[in-house]
Amino acid sequence: MGLSIGQVAERTGLSVHALRFYEREGLLADPVRRESNGRRVYTEDDVDWLAMCIKFRSSGMPLDTIRRYTDLVRQGAGNEADRLELLRSHRAAVEAQIRDLENCLAVITHKVTIYEEHLADGTAYCLWVPPEQQTDPAAW
Amino acid sequence: MGLSIGQVAERTGLSVHALRFYEREGLLADPVRRESNGRRVYTEDDVDWLAMCIKFRSSGMPLDTIRRYTDLVRQGAGNEADRLELLRSHRAAVEAQIRDLENCLAVITHKVTIYEEHLADGTAYCLWVPPEQQTDPAAW
DNA sequence: ACTTGACCTAGACAGCGCTCTAGCTCTTAG
DNA sequence: CTAAGAGCTAGAGCGCTGTCTAGGTCAAGT
């Protein structure tokens, strides 16, 4: 039933180093149980929790904030409003990030289009001919 | 017509430190011109170029890749296909990033919804009562 | 003359998030 | 009996992206 750190690494995609690091950093709801010999034994819940941490991380939540969330959960019932606030503000941050990326994407796509046209109609190699065009931002 | 580093910092939102750093790192198409006293004089084109760099950066392109792109542009006409490839692969990376974020967003929104319901119907403070629920991932 | 403020260079330092090393213990297989 | 392989701790190191400091120049205002 219990999982070794290696198995958890395999399932989560985190390295064993990262798993120990996350634990030291207080990102796990409770310090992982140990066998008599001191080895870590993870539960499925631990893996689920880690999966959530990974979602948080990969959406840009700093470890510090994950730790704050973890602390709230560890403290138990009574602070659900705080957790909600943290989640909501992260959601807003993610939404902002997506908007920002979409904006960047539009710019990049525009540039891709310009280059595709240049290359398709063979004008690419003429760009340098009229010196003025060398500094035309569209040709960057 | 020329802009001081301070003015460029103000327009771009980059710090003067970052501007000098970017220049040292070779992110500017040409090393910025200087006044006789050694002070940098930026053109509007420099600002446009920086704006593009900022788009690249904020969509996750590493400085290293921006430098490679800059090098291509600096080399002049003839390598448009390389530039296009770089742009396309970055576009793909940005699209992947957006998909990933949207996935995370769904998870976070789901958690927000759960907490909102808990708080709305007053079950929040009862979560700890039956011990089994203490480890229910939905209550995290 | 003096102060202020913007600028300069070179290079040290910082924060984040891991990653790796050294030196050890245990367990298991051959 | 031994060697391999997984795990352990403490702590050093790293890659990236800036940020800041020290020590200096220069121009303008008072």
pLDDT in tens, A38-96: 999 999 999 999 999 999 999 999 999 999 999 999 999 999 999 999 999 999 999 99
CA–chain centroid gap for B118, Å, is 36
Percent of chain A predicted with pLDDT > 70: 89
Q: Nearest Cβ partner of A94 from B94, B105, B127? A: B105
Tell me the domains of chain A and their CATH numbers: 1-76 (1.10.1660.10)
Q: Name the residue of chain B whose CA is nearest to A98's CA.
A: B98
CB contact under 8 Å between B59 and A104, yes or no, is yes
Q: Are B98 and A98 in contact (CB under 8 A)?
A: yes
| Nucleotide C6: closest residue by CA–C1' | B6
In this complex, the nucleotide whose C1' atom is nearest to the CA atom of residue A35 is D7
Q: What SS3 class is residue A82?
A: helix
Q: In B, which residues are within 8 Å of A58 by CB distance? A: 100, 104
- Reported residue count of chain B is 140
Percent of chain B predicted with pLDDT > 90: 81
Instruction: For residues A105-132, give the mean pLDDT.
Output: 77
Helices (runs of H) and strands (runs of E) counted in chain A: 5, 2
| pLDDT greater than 50 at residue B140 | yes
